[in-house]
Amino acid sequence: MPFFGSNDAITLLGGRTYPVEVALLVLAIVLVVLLSQVSKKTVTGLALLGISEDREAAMLRGVNVRALALGAFAASGALAGFLGLFVGPKTFAVATLGSALAIKGFVALAIGGFGSLPGALVGGLTVGLVESFAALELGSQYSNIAVFVVLIAILMVKPAGLFGRVRERVV
């Protein structure tokens, strides 16, 4: 297998792709598994989940909400900067690309289901595949429309997303 910085296409599972795309997929899977385990198995992860559910209840349980929120924000910024090294060369990043990627990320999250890391990964793969197939079959001008049609169809069938859970609160 060529070096991951190579521009030479490789054949994988009967299709042609680039090594950086394989690296991004492997990295995404590793990060989802790692973050899922950290959020479920560590005290800090459970505290962050508690903060996301009910900030005041977490404070009453002795969680330093401010410090954990700042730490989570800093960690997500560092992770985004690191991943930018992989995504930048692939997307020919420009200053205005952030809002387009943020919208696609939100769509991927809605498809997968809020609060589900595996759902976010599946949602991202769904967005990417729908964009690719729509560009191939319908033309690139219709790829964004196809993504939103799929989003609407999924949310009509499963309002919480593919992996999301409906949460009801008794008041």
| Pair 81, 105 in one domain | no
Structure-block tokens of residue 47: 């505290």
Range of the domain at 161: 94-171
Left (φ > 0), alpha (ψ -120 to 50) or beta: where does 108 sit? alpha
* Residue 166 to residue 114: CA distance in whole angstroms: 10
Question: Last residue of a domain, which of 72, 93, 114?
Answer: 93
| Pair 2, 72 in one domain | yes
Q: How many domains does the chain have?
A: 2
| Pair 57, 116 in one domain | no
* Residue 126 to residue 111: CA distance in whole angstroms: 8
What confidence tens digit (pLDDT) does each residue in 73-98 have? 999 999 888 888 777 777 776 777 77
Structure-block tokens of residue 116: 């589900």
| Pair 137, 72 in one domain | no
| Pair 12, 87 in one domain | yes
| Pair 156, 167 in one domain | yes
pLDDT in tens, the chain (171 residues): 444 556 777 777 777 787 778 888 888 889 889 988 998 899 999 999 889 888 999 999 999 999 999 999 999 999 888 888 777 777 776 777 777 778 898 999 999 998 788 888 899 999 999 999 999 899 889 998 999 999 999 999 998 889 887 777 666
**pTM (two decimals):** 0.61
